[in-house]
Structure formats: structure tokens, C-alpha cells
Chains A and B, each alone.
Chain A
Amino acid sequence: MSSYPILDQKDTRSGFGAGLLELGRSNPNVVGLCADLTGSLKMDAFQKEFPERFFQIGIAEANMMGIAAGLTIGGKIPFTGTFANFSTGRVYDQIRQSIAYAGKNVKICASHAGLTLGEDGATHQILEDIGLMRMLPGMTVIVPCDYNQTRQATIAIAAHEGPVYLRFGRPKWPVFIPNELPFQIGKAQRLIEGSDVSIFACGHLVWRALQAAEELKKNGVSAEVINVHTIKPLDLDAVLASVGKTGCAVTCEEHNRYGGLGDAIAQALATHKPAPQEYVAVNDSFGESGTPDQLLQKYGLDVPDIVKAVGRVMKRK
């Protein structure tokens, strides 16, 4: 990618850890909670530097969400850390009542999301979490695309009043977002300008979308790539402006085709500007063990799948 060279290979969860450590130093109200996955979530540096502001909860995620909600009463800004599956599905009712309905300023930070968790398999590869969190009134849902953006997003959500779901992952992944590119909650980023098709992507699949755009360019297709790091609230203006120009959309996410980014875009288009759309998403199934690359290939989330989806959607224009 000439316009977005690979700066490094790093895991997004380490971007979270780095952002949290910076927050610890700049904001005394930031506290961390973890359910026995401190190393996996890269919260150990925060724990070491701010032991009095770090709470090891043990393997008790429901209790963690409740304690986080309670900590906001008295002005703390709690960041909870565990795997995405245990951050959402396992504790949906605790989040719903004690955090979302109660309007508490809790930051739910979730690692190991999606298929790219890899070898642990389907019990841990949640593909429904974006949908679960999107449905909660008042919840902000953010899926950053690389290490740098995850670090930026972690810092940004501390300054945002209200509950946030921040979703990131396990594997080392290309770092390509320049630190100078500003991150703003709710503001999508047009990474490549194009005229034939709008490719909306989030998380790890933003890099795949950039690769697909390069392939498409060789075939004479001008693809616009938009990084929708904030799925809720959706940047409606960016979505409508892009599709208004290109006339069709492909959505790419490491999530079930139900309830995620694709549905958020589809709802926006159906309501405001009907246009053909194709989903690059998991086709209503659970995952399995494998390497991240193998899984993205097998479940149809790879570069060729995006290229094919573009071909299909352009014929429907």
C-alpha cells in the first residue's frame, strides 16, 4: 500500500495497554479492573505503576461490571478488561441495568474479539458482541483498526462521558494509521478516495480493505475505503456522502453478518439513501480453531472475498 505503508506489526491490545498507561499518568480518576487476564489485556504496566488504582477481580466478570458501575459513584472512570466474549455476552444484564440504563461512565474494554483470536476456538471467538452492545441505548461502540488507533481510542474514551464498548484483538497486525491522523469518536475516516464503490470496514478488516482496494485498482476499479471505527453513533454524513458518490457499498467486519457494522450501514442506507450493499462478514455461524489468516480465509473475510463482493455489488448498481 503506497499511501499507507506498514509502520510496524503490533497487536491492538497492546495499543490499549499503552493508552491506559498514559491515561493513568494524566488522569488520576482512571482506574483499571481485570478478571484474571491482566497479561492478555496488556494491563500489567498500568497495574505495576498504579497498584492502588488497579483492581484484580478474579474470574468473576459479573461482579467486575457491578464494581465498575459502583466506582463511577465518587467520580472514578473505570476501564474493565477481559476477553470480548466475557465482556459482553456473559454479562449482558449487568451491563444493561447497572451500566447502560443507569448511565454510568464505564469503559468496557474487550480484547480477543472475532475470529482472529485464533486457536482458542469458537467458545472464545465472539462474533455477536458489536450487535449486543449496539442495541443498548446510550452505548458508544468503537472498533479501532490498528495499534496506533487503539491507543488513541483508549485515550479518547476517557474524555467521553458515558458508557463505551471498545473492541480490539489478539494478533500482531499491520500498524498503518499515522499517529498524526486525529481520532475523533463518531467521525469515520476516509482512508482512500474512490468513485466506483464504498468499502466500509472496522477493526482488523480495515487493513484487508486497503489491500483489496489496491487489487481493485489494478483491475481499474476505484474503491473508496472508509474506516468506520465508531459503529455507534454512526457517522451518517460520511456514509451518505460516500454512497451518494459511488452508488454502492461493501461492509467488512470480523463479526456475524447480523447486528454488526453491515447492519448499521444497511439501516442508514435503507432509511436515507437506498443502495446495493454486500456483506463481508461471518455467515451466521460460530468459528473454530486455526490461525487468524486461515480463519479469515475459511470464513470469507479475506482480500479476495472483498474483491468478489465489490464485483457483485457493482453489477447491482
Chain B
Amino acid sequence: MTSSPSVATSPETTVSELQRIASQIRRDIVRQVHGCQSGHPGGSLGCADYFTALYFHVLRHDPAKWDMDGKEQDLFFLSNGHISPAWYSTLARSGYFPVKELATFRKLNSRLQGHPTTHEGLPGVRMASGSLGQGLSVGIGAALAKKLNGDGKLVYTLHGDGELQEGQIWEAAMYAAGNKVDNLISTVDYNGRQIDGDVDDVLPLGDLKAKWLAFGWDVLETNGNDMDALLKTFATAKSRTGKGKPVMILMRTEMGQGVDFMMNSHAWHGIAPNDEQLASALSQLEETLGDY
């Protein structure tokens, strides 16, 4: 296939269909990072299933009606902006912008900056991120605006586990629970790895579930690389909104999921595959929607 029509979102999309979309998103990720020889494939691959489930099944959104305010739409904020290749692919495949634009990732004059930004007017992106720890506060603000506007839709945020080392996260955690921001579903990509090594070696997070519970959040746990489990967890999370507590999903993933030589290590957090490695990666990922 040489071209790929955007995929319409549908609540009836099945697990197997979602898995096929996720496979294409993984191809897009490694091809984007290879194309500019920079970027962060590891966490992007690990979160491909999350993005697929969120954008093709969970979010109530209309890419054709995208605007900054997003009134009466569910909103998503990526706090760990370095996994932008996964988000860009998801946005393009959902119809926010042409899929062929993925070829411009991290290149001069592109809307697809290394880290996401509103600055270049890319549809689907409502906040700049990259400097870590800021997205939870932003999500809370957007959730508060929804409440003020009488808008019953939800706000979703995604964070890295290493990102939780930033103090602002815990300021925001305290605020959201203390002020009953219960239209917010946040997720931590709990892959246990960061640039310098395993999170437990760099700066241990301790008992993460106990911490979020102690901060007053409703906490769910799931396997972020099991599509069926993800869908069930999102359904549970949605059912827990509106009950006085923000909802946290601790999502276990494997960094580099889907590409064997990128898994089980932090090594592929932020480096690009060469031509040979690209070929190997693509041989492991079925082209389901047509490469850009």
C-alpha cells in the first residue's frame, strides 16, 4: 500500500482491529525516528497500545471539528512530550492531519517538532510539553475550565514514570484530590526505565500505588500492552469519574514493545535505529494501514 486513508474512530472497534492500528503506529514510530536519526522510540513503542485505545475507542472527539478550546470534546495532554512519535502517528491516523506529514518529524520547518508544541499550529495539540512534570497541572486547569463551562466531557493525561521525580507532579496530585477534580483520568507509563537506566537505580519511586492512594486518588492498575485489559481499565476509569476523586491508571508497559531488540533495556529510550535495525524492526511489525 502506498497511501493510507485516515481511520474513523468508532466505539465498536474491536480488540483485533485496534491491535492492527497499533501495529501501524509502531511502524510509523520507528520510521519517523529513523527518518531524522533522532527521537525517542522506546517509550513511544511502549505506549502505542495506550494511544490506539484512547484515540480509536475511548476519546469522544471529532478531529474534523478540532479547535483549541475543545468544548464538548474529551481532551488529551501528553506530559512526557518526548514520546511525540507515538502521538503524532496516532493523531495523523485519526484524521487530525495528513499521514504523509509524519515524514517531516523533527525536520526544519515542520509542524512535528521534536517535542509537541502549539507554536506551529498542529491540529490535535493543545499544549507544549517536553520539559517534564507540567502536564498534570495543565490537565487540571483544563478540567476546571470544563467544570466552569458545564462541559461534562473528560480530560486525559499521560506521564512517564521517571517524570514523577519532578516535584510539580506532586503539587498537582495534591491539588486535584484536595479540590475533587473528578473529571480527570491520568495515566503513568510505568515501564520502570528512564534515560540513565532503571528508575529504581536512578531514583526509586517507592510504592507508587500507595503514594497516589495516599494523595487521595482513585488508583487502577493495568497492563498497557494488553489491548483487552486496556479497554476494560479505561471503561472502569470512566465509570469512576464524577465521584469526587481524580483517577490514576498505573499502566505497566515494556519500553520498546513490539521490536525485540529494543525491549528489556533502557538503551532505546532516545536513540534512532540505523538502516539495518529499521529493516529488522519493520519485519516484526505488520503494515496494516499503509506506510506514509
Q: What residues of chain A have their CB less than 8 Å away from a CB belonging to chain B?
A: 31, 52-53, 55, 57-58, 60, 62-76, 78, 93-94, 96-98, 101-103
Are B141 and A66 touching (Cβ within 8 A)?
Answer: yes
Answer whether residue B6 sits at the interface, using C-beta atoms and an 8 A cutoff.
no
Of B26-34, B56-64, B98-106, B170-178, the stretch lying at the interface with chain A is B170-178
Which of A52, A70, A71 gathers most chain B CB within 10 Å? Answer: A70
Q: Of the candidates A31, A63, A74, A96, which one forms a contact with B175 in the assembled complex, judged by CB atoms under 8 Å apart?
A: A63
Bound-state Cα–Cα, A93 to B137, Å: 14
Are B143 and A70 touching (Cβ within 8 A)?
Answer: yes
B51-78: contact bitstring with A at CB < 8 Å (1 yes, 0 no)?
Answer: 0000000000000000011110001010
Answer whether residue B127 sits at the interface, using C-beta atoms and an 8 A cutoff.
yes
Nearest neighbor of B71 in chain A, beta-carbon distance: A74
- Closest beta carbon of chain A to B168's beta carbon, Å: 4
Q: Of the candidates A55, A65, A74, A93, which one forms a contact with B142 in the assembled complex, judged by CB atoms under 8 Å apart?
A: A74
Are B144 and A66 touching (Cβ within 8 A)?
Answer: no
- Closest beta carbon of chain A to B111's beta carbon, Å: 14
Nearest neighbor of B139 in chain A, beta-carbon distance: A70
- Contact status of A97 and B128, CB under 8 A, knowing A63-B175, A74-B69, A103-B118: yes
Answer whether residue B281 sits at the interface, using C-beta atoms and an 8 A cutoff.
no
Nearest neighbor of B136 in chain A, beta-carbon distance: A66
- Closest beta carbon of chain B to A298's beta carbon, Å: 36
Are A102 and B127 touching (Cβ within 8 A)?
Answer: yes
Nearest neighbor of A103 in chain B, beta-carbon distance: B118
- Closest beta carbon of chain A to B247's beta carbon, Å: 17
Q: Of the candidates A62, A78, A97, which one forms a contact with B130 in the assembled complex, judged by CB atoms under 8 Å apart?
A: A97
Are B69 and A75 touching (Cβ within 8 A)?
Answer: yes
Are B175 and A58 touching (Cβ within 8 A)?
Answer: yes
Nearest neighbor of A99 in chain B, beta-carbon distance: B128
Q: Which residues of A are found within 8 Å of B127, using beta-carbon distances?
A: 69-70, 73, 98, 102
- Contact status of A60 and B171, CB under 8 A, knowing A66-B138, A67-B138, A70-B139: yes
Size band of the interface chain B makes with A: 35 or more
Of B16-24, B146-154, B200-208, B259-267, the stretch lying at the interface with chain A is B146-154
Answer whether residue B233 sits at the interface, using C-beta atoms and an 8 A cutoff.
no
- Contact status of A73 and B142, CB under 8 A, knowing A97-B131, A101-B117: yes
Bound-state Cα–Cα, A23 to B151, Å: 23
Q: Which residues of B are found within 8 Å of A31, using beta-carbon distances?
A: 148
**Contacts between chains A and B (CB distance < 8 A), count:** 119
Are A63 and B151 touching (Cβ within 8 A)?
Answer: no
Bound-state Cα–Cα, A11 to B175, Å: 31
Are B171 and A62 touching (Cβ within 8 A)?
Answer: yes
Bound-state Cα–Cα, A98 to B77, Å: 12
22 CB-based A-B contacts, threshold 8 Å: A31-B148, A60-B171, A62-B167, A63-B140, A63-B171, A66-B134, A67-B140, A69-B137, A70-B138, A72-B145, A73-B68, A73-B69, A73-B70, A73-B138, A74-B146, A75-B71, A94-B137, A94-B168, A97-B134, A98-B138, A101-B118, A103-B119
Q: Of the candidates B75, B130, B137, which one forms a contact with A73 in the assembled complex, judged by CB atoms under 8 Å apart?
A: B75
Nearest neighbor of A31 in chain B, beta-carbon distance: B148
Bound-state Cα–Cα, A98 to B129, Å: 7
Q: Of the candidates A63, A74, A76, which one forms a contact with B70 in the assembled complex, judged by CB atoms under 8 Å apart?
A: A74
Q: Which residues of A are found within 8 Å of B140, using beta-carbon distances?
A: 63, 66-67, 70
Which of B126, B141, B179 gathers most chain A CB within 10 Å? Answer: B141
- Taking A94-B137, A102-B118 as known contacts, 6 extra A-B pairs with beta carbons closer than 8 A to each other, sorted by chain A number, are A60-B172, A70-B137, A70-B142, A72-B141, A74-B149, A76-B145
Are B138 and A75 touching (Cβ within 8 A)?
Answer: no
Q: Which residues of B are found within 8 Å of A63, using beta-carbon distances?
A: 137, 140, 168, 171-172, 175
- Contact status of A70 and B141, CB under 8 A, knowing A57-B175, A97-B130: yes
- Closest beta carbon of chain A to B139's beta carbon, Å: 6
Q: Which residues of A are found within 8 Å of B149, using beta-carbon distances?
A: 74-75
- Closest beta carbon of chain A to B176's beta carbon, Å: 9
Q: Which residues of B are found within 8 Å of A67, using beta-carbon distances?
A: 137-138, 140-141, 144, 172, 175
Bound-state Cα–Cα, A69 to B179, Å: 18
Nearest neighbor of A75 in chain B, beta-carbon distance: B69
- Closest beta carbon of chain A to B177's beta carbon, Å: 12
Q: Which residues of B are found within 8 Å of A98, using beta-carbon distances?
A: 127-128, 134, 137-138
Q: Which residues of A are found within 8 Å of B133, using beta-carbon distances?
A: 62
- Contact status of A69 and B138, CB under 8 A, knowing A75-B69, A76-B145, A101-B117: yes
Q: Which residues of A are found within 8 Å of B131, using beta-carbon distances?
A: 93, 96-97
Q: Which residues of B are found within 8 Å of A52, using beta-carbon distances?
A: 148
- Closest beta carbon of chain B to A169's beta carbon, Å: 27
Q: Of the candidates A64, A71, A94, A102, which one forms a contact with B145 in the assembled complex, judged by CB atoms under 8 Å apart?
A: A71
Are B148 and A53 touching (Cβ within 8 A)?
Answer: yes
Nearest neighbor of B75 in chain A, beta-carbon distance: A73
- Closest beta carbon of chain A to B113's beta carbon, Å: 10
Are B141 and A73 touching (Cβ within 8 A)?
Answer: yes
Are B141 and A69 touching (Cβ within 8 A)?
Answer: yes
Nearest neighbor of A59 in chain B, beta-carbon distance: B171
Are B145 and A74 touching (Cβ within 8 A)?
Answer: yes
Bound-state Cα–Cα, A98 to B118, Å: 10
Which of A52, A67, A97 gathers most chain B CB within 10 Å? Answer: A67
